[in-house]
Amino acid sequence: MVVGWIILALIVIGVAYFVGIYNALVRLRNRVKNAWSQIDVQLKRRHDLIPNLVETAKGYMKHERETLEEVTKARTRAMGAGSVGEKSKAEADLSGALGRLMLVVENYPDLKANENFLAVQEELTSTENKIAFSRQSYNDSVLFFNNKIQMFPSNIIANTFNFTAEEFFEIEEAAEREVPKVSFTT
């Protein structure tokens, strides 16, 4: 009788333990997903800001048509990008184009003093930062999640319920170097 109770108790504890691990895995996977959607939100926000920026800059930058067009084109490409690989390439191009635009802004003191431009610039700087920080946070979450599904004993549960390792969001070194100072100057 007593032995029966003990066995029952052990089974209950065991089940509770596994349920706990399972829930922790689900929580972590959701955190990864949430972090990914954060990146998406910020990328979209950047796309939304660009027409405003170009519109403001146009009036002042008569001789920088190409630079502005380049930004607009890069934006269109980035918005149309489908796969993750395409996307990160297109976004990196967009960052590069924006960086070049911000460098030539230096030559237009009137534009730099424009209140509307300053506001867009602050928003853009912040959005760039937010993209970087959400990538940082996403990669942290992925690392933690991947560790968890590879380590004992949570790996048993992970294998049983098909939790698969998530990919890191890496930015190619070259692209990264191309946007050294997207936190533009005034």
Half-sphere exposure of 51 (CA within 13 A, CB side): 6
Residues 109, 5: Cα–Cα separation, whole Å:
82
Residue 166: CB minimum distance to another protein, A: 15
Applying CB under 8 A, the span of 51-59, 65-73, 162-170, 175-183 interacting with another protein comes to: 175-183
CB atoms within 10 A of CB 16: 10
Applying CB under 8 A, the span of 9-17, 65-73, 87-95, 129-137 interacting with another protein comes to: 129-137
30 is an interface residue for another protein by CB under 8 A: no
Site string (135-174) toward another protein, x via CB under 8 A:
-xx--xx-xx--x---------------------------
Residues 44, 99: Cα–Cα separation, whole Å:
18
Q: What is the DSSP string of 171-184?
A: --HHHHHH-TT-S-
Instruction: Please identify which residue in 22, 79, 123, 175 interacts with another protein, judged by CB under 8 A.
Output: 123
**Any alpha helices (H) in the chain, and if so which ranges?**
2-58, 65-80, 84-105, 109-113, 115-150, 154-160, 173-178
Q: What is the DSSP string of 138-170?
A: HHHHHHHHHHHHHSTTHHHHHHHTT--PPPP--
17 is an interface residue for another protein by CB under 8 A: no
Query: How many chain residues touch another protein (CB under 8 A)?
Result: 26
Residue 147: CB minimum distance to another protein, A: 7
185 is an interface residue for another protein by CB under 8 A: yes
Interaction with another protein in 69-98: which residues (CB under 8 A)? none
Instruction: Please identify which residue in 129, 150, 159, 164 interacts with another protein, judged by CB under 8 A.
Output: 129
Q: Is 78 exposed, middle or buried (0-12, 13-18, 19+ CB in 10 A)?
A: buried
Task: Give the interface with another protein as residue ranges (CB under 8 A).
Answer: 31, 35, 38, 42, 119, 122-123, 125-126, 129-130, 133-134, 136-137, 140-141, 143-144, 147, 180-181, 183-186
